[in-house]
Structure 1
Amino acid sequence: MTPSHQDIEAPCWSGAAHRQVGAGRRLSQGKAPSPGVSIRATGHSGNPAPCREDEEDTQQWQRHAFDEPLVPALHRVGLMIKPKEITVGRVRPAGRRTMKDRPSGRKPLLVTVLVFPGVRLLDVTGPIEVFTSANDFGGRYRVRIVSPDGADVVTAAGTGLRVDLPAAQAQDASDVVIIPGGPEWPSLIKDDVLLDAVRALDSHSRRTASICTGAFLLAAAGLLDGRTATTHWRFADQLALRYPQVTVGADALFVRDGHIMTSAGVSSGIDLSLALVEEHLGADVARAVAKDMVVFMQRPGGQSQFSVRTRSPRARQEMLRQVLDAVAEDPSAQHTLATMARRAGVSTRHMTRLFHDEMTTTPARYVEQIRMEAAQAILEGSDDPMATVARRTGFGSPESLRRAFTRNLGITPGTYRARFRTTDAAGDAQHA
Structure 2
Amino acid sequence: MSQNPTATAGTSATELAGFEGLHNQELLGRYNQSLMGVFGTPQRVLVRGSGCTVWDADGKEYLDLLGGIAVNALGHAHPLLTSVVSSQLATLGHVSNFFTSPSQIALAEKLLGLSAAPAGSKVFFANSGTEALEAAFKLARRHGNNDAGGKRGRILALENAFHGRTMGALALTWKQAYREPFEPLPGGVEHIPAGDADALRAAVDETVAAVFIEPIQGEAGVRGYPAGYLELARELTREAGALLVFDEVQTGVGRTGKWFASEGVLPDAMTLAKGLGGGFPIGAMITFGPDVSTLLGTGQHGTTFGGNPVATAAALATLHTIESQQLLVHVRQTGQAIREALSGLDFVTEVRGEGLLIGFDLAAEAAPALVQRALDAGFIVNSTGPATVRLAPPLIVTAEQVQRFVDALPELYAAATKEEK
Q: RCO (CA 8 Å, sep 6+): is it higher in 1 or 2? A: 2
* TM-score category of the 2 structures, normalised to the smaller one: under 0.3
TM-score normalised by L of structure 2: 0.26
- Higher-Rg structure is 1
